[in-house]
Structure 1
Amino acid sequence: MIISRMLCFVSLCFSSFAVQAQETDNLSSLHRFNPDATLPVISSMNIRQVYAGNNVLAKSIALAQSGGKLQYISGGNRSSEVKIEFQQPYKESELIESLELHFDKKYGFINQVTLTYKIASRYLDILPVYDKTLQQAVSKYGEPLSFKTVQDIVKTSSSKPKFADFRANLTVKPELKDEIAQYLNYKQVTSKTHFIESENGRALLLTGFKQCYFWPKQEFAEILTLCAFQPSSGNMKGQGVTLSLVDFRVKQAIEHYQSEEAEININL
């Protein structure tokens, strides 16, 4: 009986190690990066303990070993994105967490982190997941951008300040102005894109069929967003709730990064 249990334990351990080895082997296209390389700048916020500025190979290995399932690495040896999934039971279905790590092709530093929650069944309402995600985001990151702050930036008392006016009046660091403007342009779906005041005085951006909250840091040098389809759109089922983190200081640091491996010593 004891021997049988020991063999079972060994078998389970071997199976676990085999799964881990397979997951890390699947990261072979990332092995061109040095897992010990670090960037002097990382984001202050994180998603699932992944910071913008982290080493993609080191983080991918850690995520795979903690139960994440590697889905794909885009572009082979010229890859710039890796996707890892986590799953948990949800009612009679599953809640799927898709974590996407976007990284620069040259050094392998993460420049954007995106986490999307989806329910496997298209017949279950995702609104409870949205409410829980927002609750957890406020608990972890604090209150998002307030409606009063938006009104102050736009210099208006309107109940529907336009996003275009918000972008135009936003004060940011000069060296990051172009990058931040380009990022925010993607949120401008139509000329009518605007903010409204949601619960607790939060600024909620209505853009197309989606709605977004913002958590800005360092004068918008670092931005975390939480976006989802509007409940009023009638199309919440099958849609996702997405958290996204980007840090423009990190992107700039990557551009100016000098690898310590640039010099090659060859002795004949």
Structure 2
Amino acid sequence: MKIKIPKRFLLVSYLSLAGSGLAHAADVHPLEQTTGLKRFDATQRLTISQDSRSTLDIKSLYIGDNALASAMSLYDQGAKLHHIAGSTRSDKVRLSFYQPYQNSRLEQRLELNFNKFNGFITKISSLYTVESAYVGIKDVLNDVLTSAIAKYGNPLSIESARQQAGVQQGDVPLNRYIKTLEPRVDIAAQVTDYFQDLRVSLSAKLVNDDKGYALLHSGFNRCYIWQTQSYNEILTLCSFDPAAANAANRGVELSLVDFAVQKKIAATEKINSELSLTL
């Protein structure tokens, strides 16, 4: 027996299903369907403990935060998705904010490095560049430094660096400064490696800037340094020497790491056992 279904009923049913599908699509955030991020769960968090989140932040994002949730938050604030990158599985996402600056436009590009297996942020960098070649990078550096000091306090002073390294006056060789570091025992190797990576030239040294802060000179790179809890967290503000040919293209970069949280994130990686076949 063939039952006839009124066309009006079929139309109403179709529209109801279509409407529910659209409602579901509206609930899904664009970044939740973006290749490189959609494999993560935005609600996943590190277990709560002392080393589950950094105390310092950049734009209210912390080391140990969920990368997808953080990227969604930036996107909802008006950031433009710049790039998602990595090797076989992406491990970083960049989003950009734009604002007028002098007679040009300033781009703040936030890069979130995250663990490939679980999506927790391991490092945050904020790069500032200006579109116009007529705006000096020194102006940008001074403005970012002023803002950083207002938020994080003063960076390492030259007097503190001299006192730690046992230098009476003048510049402080970076290799000598590294030898006097006293980080937590469990992260000592990571801290030392971090400073060794900053030593891009054998003559790297901490010099006195015009405000009494220690400014790291290493090749063309110039960096201010903040640290908390015996180098548990390190924040750097780096740029090339303003006289360098590509200083404007390099921009000014604010970068945050937290070694204790990084170790906790690494400990949560999925264990990938090798497949053993008997043929």
TM-score range normalised by the length of the shorter chain: 0.7 to 0.9
Does 2:95 match 1:84?
yes
Counterparts of 2:74 and 2:135, CA distance in 1: 28
Deviation at residue 74 of structure 1 after TM alignment: 1.1
In structure 2, the partner of 1:33 is 40
Larger mean CA deviation between 192-201 and 74-83 belongs to: 74-83
1:159 maps to a residue whose letter is G
Summarize deviations over 1:172-195 as a string: whole Å, max 9, x none: 111101111111111102221101
Cα distance, 1:128–1:258 mapped onto 2, change above 3 Å: closer
SS for the counterpart of 1:224 is strand
Counterparts of 1:166 and 1:254, CA distance in 2: 29
Runs of 4+ in 1 over 4 A off after TM superposition: 18-23
Q: How many residues align?
A: 242
Task: Extract unaligned runs of 5+ from structure 2.
Answer: 1-24, 271-279
Counterparts of 1:216 and 1:133, CA distance in 2: 18
TM-score if structure 1 supplies the norm length?
A: 0.84
1:241 maps to a residue whose letter is V
Deviation at residue 26 of structure 1 after TM alignment: 5.5
Deviation at residue 200 of structure 1 after TM alignment: 3.6
Deviation at residue 141 of structure 1 after TM alignment: 0.0
2:218 is aligned, of 204, 207, 216, to 207
Deviation at residue 75 of structure 1 after TM alignment: 3.4
Counterparts of 1:201 and 1:38, CA distance in 2: 41
Does 2:152 match 1:141?
yes
Deviation at residue 23 of structure 1 after TM alignment: 4.3
Counterparts of 1:42 and 1:165, CA distance in 2: 31
Contact 2:114 2:122 in 1 (8 A): yes
TM-score if structure 2 supplies the norm length?
A: 0.80
Taking only the aligned residue pairs, the percentage that are identical comes to 33
Contact 2:183 2:232 in 1 (8 A): yes
In structure 2, the partner of 1:195 is 206
SS for the counterpart of 2:249 is coil
Contact 2:232 2:258 in 1 (8 A): yes
2:41 maps to a residue whose letter is N
Map 1:12-27 → 2, pairs under 5 A: 23-24=30-31, 27=34
Map 1:230-249 → 2, pairs under 5 A: 230-233=241-244, 235-249=246-260
Counterparts of 2:83 and 2:267, CA distance in 1: 28
2:138 is aligned, of 105, 110, 127, to 127
Larger mean CA deviation between 37-46 and 245-254 belongs to: 37-46
Counterparts of 1:55 and 1:174, CA distance in 2: 27
Deviation at residue 148 of structure 1 after TM alignment: 1.6
1:209 maps to a residue whose letter is F
Cα distance, 1:230–1:75 mapped onto 2, change above 3 Å: closer
Q: CA RMSD in A?
A: 2.2
Deviation at residue 22 of structure 1 after TM alignment: 7.6
Larger mean CA deviation between 121-130 and 209-218 belongs to: 121-130
In structure 1, the partner of 2:118 is 107
Contact 1:113 1:244 in 2 (8 A): yes
Larger-Rg structure: 2
